Structure 1
Amino acid sequence: MAALPCSKTRPFRSISLPVRSHPTTQRVEKVLNKLNALEISIAPTAETICNSLLGLEELQKCMDDLLNSTQTLQILSHHQHAKWFEELLEKSVKILDVCGTSREFVSQYKENVRALESSLRRRKGDSNADAEIARFTTFSKKMKKDAKRLVLSLKQVDGETPATAFLEADQETIAVIRALREANAVCILIFQMILSFLSVPLLKPKQPKWSLVSKLIKNGRTEREGLGNSAILETKLKTVEVQLDSIEMELEGTFRSLIRSRSLLLNVLSC
């Protein structure tokens, strides 16, 4: 089972904030540490992804509170022409775009799973079922390539804020910069998890093959065995559909929260 590059289990990054930082940045640190407790492996599960997206939504609410505070607005308004602030604005657009594309990928995957489920249930024309299986296999290969390209673009976004951003900055400014930077890093890691999940093929070549299932169904003498295998595969597809439904719903909330955060960052320019 080949997944996208994610060589080992890795946690979310936590931040170490100055003692006298804004109270909301302390909440950000708390949420990041909570996310850090989740195990992120080579092949993340749908449950881990949904829990991570729930944590991300909680994190984004903290970021909204941070960006809405008068103290933060004053800090950012004094640095709105700084290179690091311009980079944060640019990253917010790219991350929003990646979130939107990830939502589209999940939706497409779910539609294809449903089409394959429907084809197996009908089983009236085996040639139609075979054609649907071949189409789904082609779609899965394309999905893996598209996901890989999107991961590469994410890696370009996941750059560190230059160290110069922290030179001569006061403790509160440093805390805000770190909170914004780490919130972006968490978004990127979660989207990488989702893309890794989507890149794992459902039709494994060394498992009972779909073509074999089709042959078993065609063969009247082994019809019961064929129907049994088909039922197992239908159950698996239904499980994946439910998982994709959950991920899609959580991604919708994430997308809305990212739009709010982007709007709040833009508000700084009018201060």
Structure 2
Amino acid sequence: MASLSPIKSIPLRSISLPSRSHLNSLKIEAQLTKLKAWESSTNPLAAETIRMSLTKLAELFNCIQELINSPLTQQAFHHQHLSQVEEALEGSVGLLDVCSMVRDLFLTMKEHVQDLQSTLRRRGARDSSIESNVHSYISFRKKTKREITKSIRTLKIMESSVNRSYRLNGDVDNHLSYVIEVIREARATTISIFRSLVLFLSIPEGKTNTTGGWSMISKLIRSGLLASDKGQKNFNEVGTVDVALCSIHGKIRKNDAKVDVQEVQRRLETLDLCINGFDAKLDCMFRCLIQSRVSLLNLVTP
């Protein structure tokens, strides 16, 4: 699977703003500082870390929304430097596409998880329908790889665009320059967070594995490595369900009675709760992206 190089953070310049917008600028820079702390965290791909970053990102967009809609900003952008705004508008489409894709994947995943939970509760692992549900889930996960690869490609293009963006020269109005830098920084941070979100959903792959993540999972199951906490800790909530269902699938096909239904149900319940935690965050983020796009369109509309 394609991967993204570490995104280059674009430092905000220290700009003295008029007093009527100074408070808002302090709020924006405070949110950016919190998000930068997330980027340097020890485990940026953990579910709770990503959810917290989405919350902070939504707060950042709300602050920027106030800044863009202020009369001072509207006046500063009056027929000036619209190319930077148009660039941000173009990038907003890609961010909306990625956000929408991730929401849809989580929704479909939740439907599969709940079907599996229902079947295991009612009939257990020996019922023939469980094999069909497990197979459907594994097929769905294989299909997600295409969507994930497409989203990573989109984010890489956007990352390159942000890194290529030119900076304004020193004689530009301070407020206008500050707003452009804030928009640029917000785009860079959003790309970084969305990258982690997409990678959270990816099928784990080994460095030397050439046939796909499911082959690696099967190999680990056969070796017995995943029987220990040490072996399982390398997988997130999505990965542990992948492992459990791959194991069930193999045992059912071999008519092996050693299926730990309770453990599978526990992992499914954990993943279901994890997905619920992402739902509201992604809905809020999608609305923020829509509102941001509308505000940017207003800047370039005569």
TM-score range, shorter chain: 0.7 to 0.9
Match of 1:254?
A: 285
Residues 166 and 177 of structure 1: is their aligned pair in 2 closer, same or farther, counting only changes over 3 Å? farther
Give the alignment's TM-score, normalised by structure 1: 0.84
Match of 1:222?
A: none
- 1:152-191 map, 5 Å: 152-158=153-159, 159-160=161-162, 162-163=165-166, 165-166=168-169, 168-191=171-194
Match of 2:3?
A: 5
CA shift, 1:233, in A, is 1.2
The amino acid that maps onto 1:89 is: L
Q: Which runs of 4+ in 1 moved over 4 A?
A: 39-43, 215-218
Match of 2:90?
A: 90
Match of 1:210?
A: 248
Residues 124 and 96 of structure 1: is their aligned pair in 2 closer, same or farther, counting only changes over 3 Å? closer
The amino acid that maps onto 2:296 is: L
Can you list the C-alpha shifts for 1:142-165, whole angstroms capped at 9, x where unaligned? 112211211111111222253264
Q: Which runs of 5+ in 1 are unaligned?
A: 220-224
User: What is the aligned residue count?
Assistant: 259
Can you list the C-alpha shifts for 1:29-64, whole angstroms capped at 9, x where unaligned? 210111111255677111011101100111011111
Q: Is the 8 A contact 1:126 1:218 kept in 2?
A: no
Residues 181 and 264 of structure 1: is their aligned pair in 2 closer, same or farther, counting only changes over 3 Å? same
CA distance in 2, matches of 1:166, 1:127: 68
Match of 1:70?
A: 71
The amino acid that maps onto 2:3 is: P
CA shift, 1:19, in A, is 3.0
- 1:94-133 map, 5 Å: 94-121=94-121, 122-123=123-124, 126-133=127-134
Match of 2:50?
A: 49
CA shift, 1:13, in A, is 3.5
Match of 1:192?
A: 195
Q: Tell which deviates more after alignment, 120-129 or 132-141.
A: 120-129
CA distance in 2, matches of 1:142, 1:69: 44
CA distance in 2, matches of 1:155, 1:249: 26
Can you list the C-alpha shifts for 1:192-239, whole angstroms capped at 9, x where unaligned? 1111111136984224611355379864xxxxx53xx21111111110
Match of 1:20?
A: 16
The amino acid that maps onto 2:293 is: R
Give the alignment's TM-score, normalised by structure 2: 0.76
CA distance in 1, matches of 2:44, 2:167: 37
Q: Is the 8 A contact 2:131 2:252 kept in 1?
A: yes
Residues 54 and 124 of structure 1: is their aligned pair in 2 closer, same or farther, counting only changes over 3 Å? closer
CA distance in 2, matches of 1:5, 1:40: 19
CA shift, 1:257, in A, is 1.3
Q: Which runs of 5+ in 2 are unaligned?
A: 205-212, 221-225, 228-246
CA shift, 1:17, in A, is 2.4
Q: Tell which deviates more after alignment, 190-199 or 120-129.
A: 120-129
The amino acid that maps onto 1:17 is: R
Q: Tell which deviates more after alignment, 167-176 or 244-253.
A: 167-176
The amino acid that maps onto 2:97 is: D
Can you list the C-alpha shifts for 1:68-89, whole angstroms capped at 9, x where unaligned? 1111111222325x32221112
SS in 2 for 1:77: coil
Residues 56 and 176 of structure 1: is their aligned pair in 2 closer, same or farther, counting only changes over 3 Å? same
CA shift, 1:14, in A, is 6.3
Q: Is the 8 A contact 1:144 1:200 kept in 2?
A: yes
Between the aligned residues of both structures, percent identity stands at: 29
Can you list the C-alpha shifts for 1:117-168, whole angstroms capped at 9, x where unaligned? 2232222763321122122111111112211211111111222253264464
